[in-house]
Structure 1
Amino acid sequence: MTEARESAGPHARHAPGEPCWVSLMVHDLAATEEFYGELFGWEFRPGPQQLGPYVRALLDGREVAGMGQLPPDRRLPIAWTPYLASDDVDQTADTVRLCGGTVAVGPLDAAEAGRIAIASDPSGAVFGMWQGTLHLGTAITGVPGTPAWSELLTFETEIIAKFYASVFGYEEEPAVSADLDYVTLHLGGRPVAGLHGVGHALPRDRGPYWQTYFEVADADAALRRVVGLGGRVLRPAHDSPHGRVATAADPEGAEFSVIQDPR
């Protein structure tokens, strides 16, 4: 995960179903820019304004994420939302509805960025769908400050895995351990996202949600920066088979994880 990976060229496309973008809607956009800019080294430039003020986060001049400002009267959960690639977002939105999900926003055009929609799966977890044109999503991965993994925390995986497989054509790989309810979603034999069934461990006031992991050079140091910038540590850094991981929340409460590549 330490080697930078860029798109194959100006006409490259994410495979349908591949996580291609992460976005965060907040109440204080300026303060949120300052937090993540200091934490991940991001800079910002204006993005599509169809849903209100919005900026794209850049790392070394390449786009990695987006952030927008909620209207003052909208008291929605503050959460990072993954966008899954689609070749035809209108058709994908129809499939979401047919499979028991809900389409809350769109599909709608987002200027030069393409066409997007925001939906929820049958358990209520929110995700986006993106049919890219000139702007093709996250332009670089595999270095500190970039999205590394998307994982759905849900009640149980069996029904929800069937939903995502039906909509996006994923292959499912259940965990080997009988004590762990986990399904890895694959496209073309490559893992692209995970579903983690945690039962009643989900917060009662939140329900199922997608969690974004960001790569960092040092997970422990990243948590110290989070606290210094006004955020909170939710789960301290610990070693896992995939690297050293931790979970934190920004000053508005948006939860995210960091992962330090073990190599």
Structure 2
Amino acid sequence: MAAQPEGTPCWADAMFPDVEAAKSFYGDVLGWTFGEAATEFGSYTQAYADGRAVAAVVPPMPGQEGPAGWCLYLASDDAVATAEKIRANGGETLMDPMRVDGFGTMVLARDPGGVLFGVWQAGTHEGFGAQRVPGAYCWSEVFTRDPEKSDAFFPAVFPYEVVKLEDEHVDFRLYNLGDRTAMGRMRMGEDFPPEMSPFLNVYFTVADCDAAVARATERGGVLRFGPMSMPFGRFAALTDPQGAVFSVIDIDTTEGEPPRMTPA
């Protein structure tokens, strides 16, 4: 069985051409410390916040070099069955179910609009050791130019209920699991460069959004949006020096009332 309910975001990792530079950047911005590189697993290196595993970084495998980027993994109790549903609903599996020793089974995939994501069937590695504390995962959103495809695809693969934000100026949805929200979905508008691929944006918790942005930009990161306060926290979108997109959010600094959501 899955360590968490099917479709729950449960882990995040990123591939970097320069892992040591990534460790230095995220160590400064998010306060991460790092374990020893697992050479038997391609130098996969876990990141820790206050001693608890929160993410991992890894260099590209020879012949598979590409741009840096974060990948979010969604929980599954049967990775093989989930991969079949991905393909049956117009998605693409980039890596078919692969058992990673006793840690679990992984899949890498894209939705029909090109959004990269992972699937994780837990073994001994159940996922995030902490969430919603400084340095740890907090939230995620699918950014896509084909929202109708994503809104059809993800609930067909995972047991999501889709609800929409009542705002004529923003095309935003939530993917809910019962009374819990798994992640959001945002339409990419004209403010996104046309060469920018659809992506799944990962938010990491920080104690002070503005201070985190200052640390990131001082170390070569680029501020893309914010900082901005909202009912769920103060957040900013960034690109790290190697081009990976991520966001930071201070969940204790809020402003305004939560928006009204209705079934899509």
TM-score normalised to the size of structure 2? 0.90
* Distance in 1 of aligned mates of 2:12 and 2:175: 18
The one-letter code sitting in structure 1 at the alignment partner of 2:96 is G
The one-letter code sitting in structure 2 at the alignment partner of 1:181 is D
* Distance in 2 of aligned mates of 1:230 and 1:14: 36
Q: Which residue of 1 aligns with 2:33?
A: 43
- SS of residue paired to 1:141: coil
* 1:166 equivalenced with 2:156 (yes/no): yes
8 Å CA contact retained: 2:83, 2:107? yes
The one-letter code sitting in structure 2 at the alignment partner of 1:191 is T
* Distance in 2 of aligned mates of 1:187 and 1:50: 36
Report the alpha carbon displacement of residue 90 of structure 1 after superposing the two structures with TM: 0.8
Report the alpha carbon displacement of residue 72 of structure 1 after superposing the two structures with TM: 5.5
Report the alpha carbon displacement of residue 43 of structure 1 after superposing the two structures with TM: 1.4
- CA deviations on 1:141-178 (whole Å, 9 max, x unpaired) are 12111111010111142331110000001011111112
Q: What do you get for the CA RMSD once the two structures are aligned?
A: 1.8
Seq. identity, %: 36
- CA deviations on 1:31-86 (whole Å, 9 max, x unpaired) are 11111112112111246667622111111221100111013653423211100000
* 1:80 equivalenced with 2:70 (yes/no): yes
Report the alpha carbon displacement of residue 248 of structure 1 after superposing the two structures with TM: 1.2
Structure 1 runs not aligned, ≥5 long: 1-10
The one-letter code sitting in structure 1 at the alignment partner of 2:247 is S
Q: Which residue of 2 aligns with 1:245?
A: 235
The one-letter code sitting in structure 2 at the alignment partner of 1:176 is E
Among 174, 183, 192, the alignment partner of 1:202 is 192
8 Å CA contact retained: 2:113, 2:146? no
Among 122, 127, 135, the alignment partner of 1:145 is 135
Q: Which residue of 2 aligns with 1:23?
A: 13
- SS of residue paired to 1:140: coil
CA spacing shift, 1:46–1:96, aligned 2, 3 Å: farther
* Distance in 1 of aligned mates of 2:35 and 2:99: 19
Aligned residues: 253
* Distance in 2 of aligned mates of 1:245 and 1:223: 9
* Distance in 1 of aligned mates of 2:235 and 2:50: 24
The one-letter code sitting in structure 2 at the alignment partner of 1:111 is D
- CA deviations on 1:188-221 (whole Å, 9 max, x unpaired) are 2211100001244433223211101111111110
TM-score normalised to the size of structure 1? 0.90
* Distance in 2 of aligned mates of 1:93 and 1:253: 28
